[in-house]
Amino acid sequence: MYKKITWFTIVAILVLIGLLSYGCTKGTVAPTVEQPGTAPTEVAAPTTVPEKSQITIVIAEDPPTFNGAVNQSGFDILVMELTLLGLADLDEEGNAYPELAAELPTVENGGVVIDEENGTMDVTWKMKQDIKWEDGTPVTANDLVFTYEAVVDEETGYWIPGIDYVDGVEKIDDYTAVVHYNAIYPGYLTQFGGYLMVIWPAHYCDAEQGFASWDCGLKPLSNGPYVLKEWVQNDHLTFVRNPNYYEQGKPTIDEILVKIIPDGAVRKQMLINGDADLDMWTSENIVAELKDVPNVEVSLSPVDRWVMRIFFNLAAKGTTDPVAKPHPINSDLRVRQAIQMAIDTKTIAETFWFGYAKQVWTEFFRPPYNLCDVPQPVYDPEAAKALLEEAGWIDQDGDGVRECHGCTTGAEDGYKMEMEFITYSEYGETLDLTQEYIAEKLGEIGIKLTITRVEGTVLWESTENGGIEQSGNFDFDIWDDGYSGSDPTDFLWGYYTSAAAVPDYGLNYGRYLNPEIDDLINQAYTLDEDLRKDLFCQMATILNRDLPELLLFTTVDANAHSSRLQGVQSNANEIVTWNVADWTLK
Amino acid sequence: MGHYVVRRLLQAIPLMFIISIFLYGLVNLAPGGPLAGRGSSKRLNPEQIAILKRQFGLDKPVCVRYVYWLIGNDWNRPVGEITKPRAGIFTPIIECLDPRSYLNAESPGIGKGVLRGDFGNSFRTRKPVLDTIKTSFKNSAYLMSITLVVVAIIAIPVGVISAVKQYSIFDIIVTTLSFIGQAIPEFWLGLILILIFYVWLKNPLTGDSLLPPGGMYTQGAAFSLIDWTKHLILPVTMGVVGWVTWYSRFLRSSMLDVIHQDYVRTARAKGLTLNKVYFKHALRNALLPLVTIFALDLPYIFAGSLYVEILFSWPGMGRLYYQAAIDRDYPMLMAILTLITLVVILSNLLADIVYARLDPRIHYD
């Protein structure tokens, strides 16, 4: 009898666990965020309840928090854009426009005052006076000062782009504040806005918890178009229209459901079946699949941002000084030029990227700095072979791999032209195929590549944690990067200056050292647009001559959406929800 | 038995301790780290990284971090500047052995340590990891326990009939299906299920898909048992296939051993019906090893299933662990791994106890 009971007890316990979990699961909904201060409106009760409009956005991961500056997963920025505003944001062309600000401060309107003598500047932000937090408290300069102080707090703060150039933020009156810069900083318009930053409520967030850890990052007080109603961890978030949103008549859609759907194939099918209205970050292969699907549209960003590029390590693998220990293969410019000639970027773009990748060969391909005359490289494997011969790389033993016979890089005679070719695994099949194709093409001209794929966290970690790039532990690799907005200065500094070649101080992983470039980039920290255009074109010429990086093509910034959802505009400078207040349902 | 259980529980304490050291070392020393990619265009410099490390508690040697993780650091008091040993290859060892390394230079900590139930805050959300685990655990337990029950309901009769009808058409079909079931990649099966039941098959009355592609329930809709059940069908099916084939094959084998024994023959000779012989006398003994395996599978209830949870958007432990691994969210990883270790140890103990209870020949004392 006892044995029988034991067996059935196990089954009964399992059923019980299931039922209990089932019961408990109903209660796992995160505490519903109340909407404090929602002003009662005196409207006659309608005779019939109008049907609420709702859309569903499907994304791959649960947002870590609503603070996009901290984790920068993209999913946090998506929900941040639904609920919180910055001083200014970026449109699809990369132009800044005011959000909380009444107008954009410029030199012309007196909002920016430059002290040429000391090389500093003050930026005066005048804020709109009709924007309120969802509890009815006005959004004021106090919130701007509070946000700044939280960011720069030594113990609990968090670094954001450009913050090193800020000496302080001073409140002038309730709706005016001055940001004091210790340098001329061209990216000042998105200092407290743009892709990553918003203004946080001083009366609601707990400064002691810290910018990166405060509870208001999980239960935000909205001043944006939507208010968080419910967040069920790893499952969904529900947002309802903010009735106090400052733009009259907006937003028009009552409710937004953000569902966490990890699998891309399922997200695509939900869109096709009409169970989703927007699939964030649609990849090139899915865009191609959805091209002819009825009731689905794909919004492409008019301006591209992410550039797939090859990084040459100019220092010997495992070292970071290209002068003392030059790379035995890459340090010869003719080798880099030969590699450029041997890669058929056009075929890659059309085949593996389904025609959505656009060839680029200079950093200055985006307006307003796409004015430089840099010749497009030509795919010519025969010329590449000749260049390698000239550089002293000859295949004498006939095994298909060249060896050093008179090369000028310091490599020993007979040194094989073999290198490791690394990329990161998270991007997926398109990049994997591209990497394999490039390895094949370079193999045809006698350069043998061993393909390696690692996690991004291993590739980009600091030297202390064995980060491959920062430690210089690579020959050459391929991945993508680009800048948000229209100011490339910080981005260029990070990738091409000598200061950024110091391990852990920048992204100049190839250790490209050129005082000329250093000088040009330092000069580019100015608000004189004509001068900047000239400087950037000089840089373009030098970078094209030296080839420290090989820019190949841009990747698509696309978001697929249902045809009934109108107003969606992909924006490479922002996340797709940047203009959510303008969305309508057909 | 009581003594045995107490002894095993006491043995589990040093075992947990040793395993936790290994886990902590593996998690913290694995390539990559939680700070990779932080900062716009990954441009944090060492000074900024140092601030983040302090916030995350990564500014101490691994051995110190382990001690803090275990017993907390709220007992610490500021002691002023601490001279660090000169850098060298033995520095980590010197730091670990130096008691001053365990003191805080400036401010006391706030961690209570796992021995006092504090697993720390997630690097991803900066909130207590146990809060997040609690929610995910409920979801995984709900799915996995129902999956295990369905497995038992299907596998037991199939295994028994296969054995008593050995080499019959039924047995051949079941054997073939078992091999197919074990050979099918779980992820592929899930995609096919979605293709059939979400994409192809429609409800003839409403025109909607026959079954939802994922999630636990329809968001925003009023509670409905039918709705929750519909959301369970595909993930449970995906989970059940592999297990049923394994369990039914195991039971078939166990049953074949039993039904050829003398006491079964005696029972038949006494004139008992075949059903009574097989299901009352033989099955009870054939189930003994299966019960042990079943108990050993109990940790899955806690750990969840990664593939099922990803494909069917199920917010459970598998996905939570995967995300933590990608993010190198050390506190979350350690909490999940420690709890899984604990559940595995307890499940092993449970298996031994149940086996002893079911089989009078087994004595532990």
**Do the Cβ atoms of B198 and A273 come within 8 Å?**
yes
* pLDDT at position B38: 52
**Do the Cβ atoms of B291 and A218 come within 8 Å?**
no
* pLDDT at position A9: 58
**Do the Cβ atoms of A458 and B36 come within 8 Å?**
yes
Mean pLDDT of the residues in chain B:
88
* pLDDT at position A323: 96
Instruction: Using the predicted structure, report yes or no on whether residue A87 has a pLDDT greater than 70.
Output: yes
At B122-139, the pLDDT tens digits run 999 889 999 999 999 999
How many Å lie between the alpha carbon of B95 and the closest alpha carbon of chain A? 17
**Do the Cβ atoms of A259 and B313 come within 8 Å?**
yes
Is there a contact between A223 and A134 (Cβ–Cβ < 8 Å)? yes
**Do the Cβ atoms of A18 and B146 come within 8 Å?**
yes
pLDDT band at residue B279 using 50, 70 and 90 as cut-offs: confident
Please tell me which of the candidates B141, B142, B213 has its beta carbon nearest to residue A266: B213
* pLDDT at position A390: 97
Residue matched to tokens 């008992």: B272
DSSP letters spanning A191-222: TTSTTT-----TTTS-GGG-TTT-GGGTSPPP
Instruction: Using the predicted structure, report yes or no on whether residue A37 has a pLDDT greater than 50.
Output: no
Instruction: Using the predicted structure, report yes or no on whether residue B103 has a pLDDT greater than 90.
Output: no
Q: What is the mean pLDDT of residues B312-340?
A: 95
Chain A 111-170, CB below 8 Å of chain B: which residues? 154-161
For residue B219, the chain A residues in CB contact (below 8 A) are: 232, 235-236, 238, 257, 259
DSSP letters spanning A430-464: HHHHHHHHHHHHHHHTT-EEEEEEE-HHHHSS-GG
* pLDDT at position A502: 92
For residue B43, the chain A residues in CB contact (below 8 A) are: 161, 490, 494, 500, 506-507
Instruction: Using the predicted structure, report yes or no on whether residue A442 has a pLDDT greater than 50.
Output: yes
**Do the Cβ atoms of B319 and A17 come within 8 Å?**
no
Q: Identify the H or E element spanning A552.
A: strand A549-554
Ramachandran angles phi, psi of A195, nearest 5°: -70, -35
Instruction: Using the predicted structure, report yes or no on whether residue A19 has a pLDDT greater than 80.
Output: no
For residue A255, the chain B residues in CB contact (below 8 A) are: 220
How many Å lie between the alpha carbon of A293 and the closest alpha carbon of chain B? 14
What is the C-alpha radius of gyration for chain B, rounded to an integer number of angstroms?
27
* pLDDT at position A8: 52
More confident residue, A49 or A153: A153
For residue A61, the chain B residues in CB contact (below 8 A) are: 323
Count Cβ atoms below 10 Å from residue A138 Cβ, excluding itself.
16
For residue A474, the chain B residues in CB contact (below 8 A) are: none
Please tell me which of the candidates A157, A263, A507 has its beta carbon nearest to residue B41: A507
Instruction: Using the predicted structure, report yes or no on whether residue A1 has a pLDDT greater than 50.
Output: no
Chain A 22-81, CB below 8 Å of chain B: which residues? 22, 24-26, 28, 54, 61-62, 64-65, 70-72
pLDDT band at residue A161 using 50, 70 and 90 as cut-offs: confident
For residue B42, the chain A residues in CB contact (below 8 A) are: 460, 507
* pLDDT at position B31: 85
**Searching chain B, which residue's CA lies closest to the CA of residue A260?**
B313
* pLDDT at position A572: 94
Rank A311-315, A371-375, B159-163, B353-357 by mean pLDDT and report only the highest: A311-315
pLDDT band at residue B47 using 50, 70 and 90 as cut-offs: confident
At B164-218, the pLDDT tens digits run 999 999 999 999 999 999 899 989 999 999 999 999 999 998 889 999 999 999 9
Q: What is the mean pLDDT of residues A306-332?
A: 97
Least confident of A87-91, A468-472, A498-502, B353-357: B353-357
Least confident of A28-37, A295-304, A493-502, B147-156: A28-37
For residue B214, the chain A residues in CB contact (below 8 A) are: 261, 263, 266
Please tell me which of the candidates A17, A213, A491 has its beta carbon nearest to residue B141: A17
Is there a contact between A194 and A484 (Cβ–Cβ < 8 Å)? yes
How many Å lie between the alpha carbon of A280 and the closest alpha carbon of chain B? 16
More confident residue, A2 or B128: B128
Instruction: Using the predicted structure, report yes or no on whether residue A67 has a pLDDT greater than 60.
Output: yes
Percentage of chain B surpassing pLDDT 70?
Answer: 94
Tally: H helices and E strands in chain B:
15, 0
Least confident of A330-339, A349-358, A488-497, B71-80: B71-80
Is there a contact between A122 and A188 (Cβ–Cβ < 8 Å)? no
ipTM, two decimals, is: 0.89
Mean pLDDT of the residues in chain A:
91
* Separation between Cα atoms, residue A136 and residue A39, nearest integer Å: 8
Instruction: Using the predicted structure, report yes or no on whether residue A388 has a pLDDT greater than 70.
Output: yes
* Separation between Cα atoms, residue B216 and residue B212, nearest integer Å: 9
**Searching chain A, which residue's CA lies closest to the CA of residue B200?**
A273
Instruction: Using the predicted structure, report yes or no on whether residue A501 has a pLDDT greater than 80.
Output: yes
How many Å lie between the alpha carbon of A494 and the closest alpha carbon of chain B? 7
Least confident of A205-219, A244-258, A373-387, B87-101: B87-101
Q: Which of B52, B106, B145 to mutate to test the interface with A (most CBs of A within 10 A)?
A: B145
pLDDT band at residue A42 using 50, 70 and 90 as cut-offs: very low
* pLDDT at position B107: 65
pLDDT band at residue A569 using 50, 70 and 90 as cut-offs: very high
**Do the Cβ atoms of A10 and B49 come within 8 Å?**
no
Find, among B75, B347, B41, the residue nearest to A508 by Cα: B41
Is there a contact between A361 and A547 (Cβ–Cβ < 8 Å)? no
pLDDT band at residue A347 using 50, 70 and 90 as cut-offs: very high
Rank A3-7, A414-418, A424-428 by mean pLDDT and report only the highest: A414-418
Calculate the CA B61 to chain-centre distance.
Answer: 30
**Do the Cβ atoms of A504 and B323 come within 8 Å?**
no
For residue A264, the chain B residues in CB contact (below 8 A) are: none
For residue B251, the chain A residues in CB contact (below 8 A) are: none
Rank A174-183, B119-128, B286-295 by mean pLDDT and report only the highest: A174-183
pLDDT band at residue B147 using 50, 70 and 90 as cut-offs: very high
Q: What is the mean pLDDT of residues A206-231?
A: 95
* pLDDT at position A387: 98
Percentage of chain A surpassing pLDDT 70?
Answer: 91
**Do the Cβ atoms of B216 and A458 come within 8 Å?**
no
Q: A8 touching B, CB under 8 A?
A: no
* pLDDT at position B299: 87
Q: How far is CA A239 from CA A33, A80, A173, A196, in A?
A: 10, 11, 33, 20
**Do the Cβ atoms of A460 and B149 come within 8 Å?**
no
At A333-344, the pLDDT tens digits run 999 999 999 999
* pLDDT at position A14: 56
**Searching chain A, which residue's CA lies closest to the CA of residue B311?**
A263
How many Å lie between the alpha carbon of A412 and the closest alpha carbon of chain B? 32
Q: What is the mean pLDDT of residues B299-310?
A: 87
**Searching chain B, which residue's CA lies closest to the CA of residue A12?**
B149
Please tell me which of the candidates B34, B138, B328 has its beta carbon nearest to residue A28: B138
How many Å lie between the alpha carbon of B100 and the closest alpha carbon of chain A? 22
pLDDT band at residue A45 using 50, 70 and 90 as cut-offs: very low
How many Å lie between the alpha carbon of A167 and the closest alpha carbon of chain B? 17
* pLDDT at position B80: 67
For residue A236, the chain B residues in CB contact (below 8 A) are: 215, 219
**Do the Cβ atoms of A213 and B121 come within 8 Å?**
yes
Instruction: Using the predicted structure, report yes or no on whether residue A271 has a pLDDT greater than 80.
Output: yes
pLDDT band at residue A447 using 50, 70 and 90 as cut-offs: very high
User: Using a CB cutoff of 8 Å and minimum separation of 24, what contacts does B18-27 make?
Assistant: B19/B341, B20/B70, B20/B114, B20/B334, B20/B338, B20/B341, B21/B66, B23/B334, B23/B337, B23/B338, B23/B341, B24/B62, B24/B65, B24/B66, B24/B69, B24/B334, B25/B62, B25/B66, B27/B330, B27/B333, B27/B334, B27/B337
